[in-house]
Amino acid sequence: MRKRVIFNDKALPYLLLLPQVAITLIFFFWPAAQAVYFSTQIQDAFGLRSQFVWFENFGAILSDPNYLSSIRVTVVFSVSVTVLAIAPALLLSVMADKQIRGATTYKTLLIWPYAVAPAIAAVLWLFIFHPSVGLLGRFLVAIGVPWDYALNDAQALLLVVLASAWKQISYNFLFFLAGLQSIPRSVLEAAAIDGASQTRRFWTIVFPLLSPTTFFLLVVNLVYAFFDTFGTIHALTRGGPGTSTTTLIYRVYVDGRDNLNLGTSSAQSVVLMLFVIALTMIQFRYIERRVHY
């Protein structure tokens, strides 16, 4: 039988829960409720005049071709970032998991980029790829490649994707490494004795056994690409040229902070909130089903 803690006092458990509940209410539920409230308002920057407009703000963003284009940008951006952050991480972790000299050093170096703040990472990329001050950028221009991400949609998107993915590789690497280490050696050895090649062992044993980790990372990376890449985009391209690197979260920032338009900015936040709720539900259902196998 499981050992259970029994509280004699009815109030004590609630009291112990209170700090966590209070934090959740103040820092999560209260702002979320505010966002929902503001999404139904049209308000001036100083909050001196407010009008209740039902769902007009939602109508305004959904009929804005630039908003729809930023949805497209976000999808392309997020999928690219997720793929480019997961695939190299998997490769690197498989390599680092082997018995090689100095494995710890490699591991440390691979984990390092995770500690770099997004804005600093972006500046780093700027110094590499800027067409007139960046090392590689200057080189590309010198050999005749028309490299100028300030005025080329595709190049700008490529740059923010690379910079964002690079930041996330370390995180994925760490999880894959942990996942690899929990795969029983005996299974791999048995397969090796049966004559399975290294590639075959990877695809038939390692990869399936890693699938819970991969799925978890897929969700986490998508959320990262959606919400945590703001700093990189802001420092590298500011959403330009045109609106070619304006993702949904970047637009929330621009409309709310630069344009001081709380109504449409909140409406966009609410749309994003619904999206996250959906994503979380999918994750829970899937993981619930896959956790025992």
Partner 1 sequence: MLSRRSILQSTAAIGAVAAFSGARAQAQRTQVTFWYGLGQPLGGILEQVVAGFNASQNQYQVNPVFRGQYPETMVAAIAAFRAGNAPHIVQMFEVGTATMMAARGAVMPVHQLATDTGVAIDPAAYLPGVRGYYSAPDGKLMSMPFNSSTSILYYNKETFRKAGLNPDQPPKTWREVREAAQKIKSANAAPIPYATAWPTWVHYENFSAIHNVPLATKVNGMAGMDAELRINSPLHVRHLQMLMDMQKDGTFKYGGRDNAGEAVFVSGEAAIITTSSGYRARALRETPGAPASVGFGYLPYHDDAVQAPLNSIIGGASLWVMTAPNRTKEEYKAVAEFFRHVSRPEIDSKWSQDTGYVPITLAGAERLKESKFWQENPGTDIPTLQLTRGTATDNSLGLRLGNMPQIRVIIQEEMERAFQGQQTAEQASNAMVTRGNQVLREFERANRS
Q: Which residues bind partner 1 (CB under 8 A)?
A: 42-49, 66, 132-133, 150-153, 238, 240-243, 254, 257-261, 263
- The CA distance from 23 to 26, in Å, is 5
Q: Which is nearer to partner 1, 46 or 293 (CB)?
A: 46
Q: Which is nearer to partner 1, 170 or 247 (CB)?
A: 247
CB of 80 to partner 1, least distance (A): 21
Cα of first residue to Cα of last residue in the chain, in angstroms, is: 25
Q: In the complex, what is the shortest distance from the CB of residue 259 to partner 1, in angstroms, rounded to a whole number?
A: 4
- In whole angstroms, the minimum distance from the beta carbon of 119 to partner 1 comes to 14
What are the Cα distances from residue 7, in Å, to 12, 81, 163, 204? 7, 48, 52, 50
Q: How far is the CB of 103 from partner 1 (least distance, A)?
A: 43
| Nearest partner of 81 among 169, 213, 211, 155, judged by Cα | 169
User: How many residues are recorded in the chain?
Assistant: 293
Nearer to partner 1, 88 or 241 (CB): 241
The nearer residue to partner 1, 63 or 186, going by C-beta atoms, is: 63
Neighbours of 39 (CB within 10 A): 24
Q: Are 85 and 93 in contact (CB under 8 A)?
A: no
- Phi/psi for 51 (5° steps) reads -130, 145
Q: In this structure, how many other beta carbons lie within 10 angstroms of the beta carbon of residue 278?
A: 10
Burial 105-129 (b: 16+ CB within 10 A, else e): eebeebbebeeeebeebbbebbebb
Nearer to partner 1, 5 or 48 (CB): 48
| 86 vs 122, beta carbon nearer partner 1 | 122
- Of 31, 32, 55, 38, give the one whose Cα is nearest residue 260: 38
Q: Report which secondary-structure segment, H or E, holds 115.
A: none
Closest CB to partner 1 among 89 and 126? Answer: 126
Crossing angle, helix 207-223 and helix 65-96, to 10 degrees?
140
CB count within 10 Å of CB 231 equals: 16
User: Least CB distance from residue 46 to partner 1, whole Å?
Assistant: 4
Residue 47 C-beta: closest distance to partner 1, Å: 5
CB-nearer residue toward partner 1: 118 or 179:
118
Determine phi and psi for 245, rounding to 5 degrees.
-120, 25
Rounded to whole angstroms, how far apart are CA atoms 13 and 164?
A: 43
